[in-house]
Structure 1
Amino acid sequence: MKTEKIQLFDDNEHSNLYTYILDPQTSYMVYKKRPAIIICPGGGYLMTATKEGEAVAARFLSKGYHTFVLRYSTYFKERMTDLNEVPPINEQSHYPGPLIELMESIRLIKEHAEEWHIDAENIFVLGFSAGGHLAASLAVKWDDKDLLDRFPKDVFPSVFKPKGIVLGYPALDLESARANFQNHKNPMIRRQGDFLYDAVFGHDAPSKEQLDTVKIINYIREDMPSVFLWHTYDDEITSPEDSVALIHELIRHRINCEFHLFAKGKHGLGLGDEVYANSKDDINEEVSAWVNLADQWLKLQCRQ
């Protein structure tokens, strides 16, 4: 297996792509190209969650995918551990910075597809929470002119379009997510909610127009990638209602999609099993089924 940390841009040390590339030789003198998954952890655009990175990469590696973890630029350079102390701030983190980094990741992977034995036609993005917002943003804005202007003119827009996206408890509407942060019973989560708008917009009073530009449902289109989405009814931070509304809009636009709403489960479960659990609350056998469900869906997409 090839593991490597790749700094995406020379002027930004806080944006890195971690590779988990399987050996292409499956038997003696037998080589195989495999699909790839770029994983975007959540963290409210303030940080990127640990358990939504390598743990998820390892699980999908075991199912035959090359995996990549994007540690995109976030507002805090360090995790917040004290309610009264704000970590160092990364001014390069504002939107659409993380989206540009995701686009560069998919471009880089396709550029190295032959070397890494990747099936370039089957590259997916998997995102949790804010990382789900990032993945969904790419799905609807992969050919956005303002974003494309950040790249060389000879790069075709289709390079940035993933085959499909997998969303776990995604933050599809940052306005509702911030409200849920600030109403949460956990004081640390409430405090982090105070910085969400600063992280995304660079200030804490975005206009309605600015909020609308990052609301995923406003950009649903017929030529976007297929979507697999799972959420839990009990989620207190990202709204399952937003996920249901998105699925309704996808169906209305005849976008291939699959949706699972689990009856119980808190926000941020990740894999949902005991292997990477910090407490009993992190273990949810019903929710942990999402991995196999997503794998089946991904394999179906690869055959199409």
Structure 2
Amino acid sequence: MYSEKIRLYEDREDVTLTTYVQNDANSLLGDYNRPAILICPGGGYMKCATQEAEPVAIRFAAMGYQAFVLRYSTYFSQDSNVTFPTAKEEIEIKEYCVFPNPMLEIGKAMLLIREHAREWKVDVDRITLCGFSAGAHNVAMYANSWNTNLVLDYLKTSSEHLRPVAVILGYMAGDYYFSKIDQIEVEKEMFFRVSYAAILGKQELTEEDIERMSPSRHVNRDTPPAFLWSTYEDRTVSVKNTIKMAEALANQHIPFDMHIFEEGPHGLSLATQESAKVKKQVNPDAAKWVELAEAWLQKRMALELPETI
């Protein structure tokens, strides 16, 4: 395996695609183009969480996928500290991270993977997107929009180059109505104010914003199949978001798998020591999502291997 970090913009260091690519030249399996997974970490659109990046990529690489991590535009740079303003301070708006920019960067990453498909041995018809929290929101927004004029006009390409075969959505923000309720319940007003400023360019949600930015309200017949998971105990992003997304997929007859685990806080990532920062982020029950997702993906992404060597 080799890893490389590539800038998506020549003049910016913060938006990158990191590769975790396997070379089969010396493998007993032979020289195959492999299915790929593009991972979008969470972080409230403020930063890209490290625990939802490389540990996840390495786990999927071990399953046989060519793995990639997209660090999309966020409010704070990756090497800066997250500092919240006081309630009286005005929050600066940074246009580069306002929607739809982070979503469009998924499309840019898809095109970059396609451009290097031969070099990276990627089967371009079998690319899955995987996101966590805000990253899952970003993935879901893209999943509903990959063939819209908004995306196609910006990327100047045809839709067949941009379609993901499936998406994995971990503890996603699926309906901003619940985010507005959560802001009151979990008393994280400044967290949400900065998060809204990052992705919306404003500090308060309107009903129009809720409608526009809730992926569960925009599921359509071209939305790819989805694997959803969350925990009942998540007090940052309510499990109701995942349930609402599942309902929307069912209404559009889009295949999906959903798993709700009872215990575990927000931000579990793999829910193992590989990704945990604190003890409560290790949860053997919730960690089963990886195995379940692998089995679900296998139905769509299995290598066409010979019967014998």
TM-score, normalised with respect to structure 1: 0.91
* Residue of structure 2 equivalent to 1:110: 114
Whether the 8 Å contact between 1:183 and 1:190 is mirrored in structure 2 is no
Question: How big is each residue's C-alpha offset from its partner over 1:205-259, in whole Å with a ceiling of 9 and x where there is no partner?
Answer: 3432232111112211122211000010111111211211221221221101100
- Displacement of 1:149 after TM fit? 1.4
Deviates more, 1:50-59 or 1:167-176: 167-176
Task: Determine the C-alpha separation between the residues in 1 that align with 2:92 and 2:37.
Answer: 31
Structure 2 contact 93–201 (Cα < 8 Å) conserved: no
For residue 248 of structure 1, what is the amino acid of its counterpart?
E
How many angstroms apart in 2 are the aligned matches of 1:257 and 1:28?
34
Between 31-40 and 234-243, the greater mean CA deviation after superposition: 234-243
Partner Cα separation in structure 2 for residue 26 and residue 285 of structure 1 = 35
Please state how far the C-alpha of 1:86 moved relative to its aligned partner. 9.7
Count of residue correspondences: 299
1:280 aligns with 2:282: no
Asked whether the 8 Å contact 1:180–1:237 carries over to 2, the reply is: yes
RMSD between aligned residues: 2.2
Q: Which amino acid aligns with 2:226?
A: V
User: Partner residue of 2:82?
Assistant: 80
For residues 189 and 26 of structure 2, the distance between their equivalents in structure 1, rounded to whole angstroms, comes to 49
Residue identity in the other structure for 1:129: S
Q: Does 1:171 align with 2:170?
A: no
Q: Which amino acid aligns with 1:226?
A: P
* Structure 1 counterpart SS, 2:131: strand
Cα–Cα, structure 1 residues 297 and 264, in superposed 2: closer, same or farther, change >3 Å?
Answer: same
Paired residues for 1:124-135 under 5 Å? 124-135=128-139
SS at match of 2:137: helix
Q: Which residue of 2 aligns with 1:184?
A: 186
- Tell me if structure 1 keeps the 8 A contact 2:85–2:91: no
Within 5 Å, which residues of 2 pair with 1:155-234? 155-181=157-183, 183-184=185-186, 189-234=188-233
Aligned residue number for residue 244 of structure 2: 245
What's 2:297 paired with?
A: 298
> Would the alpha carbon gap of residues 246 and 268 (structure 1) be closer, same or farther in structure 2, given more than 3 Å must change?
same
1:79–1:87 contact (8 Å) kept in structure 2? no
The residue type equivalent to 1:191 in the other structure is M
List aligned pairs for 1:86-105, cutoff 5 A.
90-105=94-109
Pairing of 1:32-71 with structure 2 (within 5 A): 32-71=32-71
- Structure 1 runs not aligned, ≥5 long: none
- Which AA in structure 2 matches 1:99? M
| Structure 1 residues 53 and 220: alpha-carbon distance in aligned structure 2, compared to 1, 3 A threshold | same
Given the superposition, is the C-alpha separation of residues 6 and 181 from structure 1 closer, same or farther in structure 2, using an over 3 Å criterion?
farther
Letter of the structure 1 residue corresponding to residue 276 of structure 2: A
Aligned mates of 1:94, 1:133 — CA distance in 2: 14
Is the contact between residue 8 and residue 15 of structure 1 (CA under 8 Å) also seen in structure 2? yes
Larger relative strand fraction: 1
Q: Which residue of 2 aligns with 1:123?
A: 127
Moved segments of 4+, more than 6 Å: 85-89
**Cα separation, 1, equivalents of 2:69 and 2:94:** 20
Shift of 1:104: 0.4
CA distance in 2: counterparts of 1:209 and 1:30, whole angstroms: 52
For residues 230 and 268 of structure 1, the distance between their equivalents in structure 2, rounded to whole angstroms, comes to 12
Q: Residue 30 of structure 1 aligns to a residue in which SS?
A: coil
Provide the secondary structure at the position in 1 that maps to 2:4. strand
The runs of 5 or more residues in structure 2 that have no matched partner are 304-309
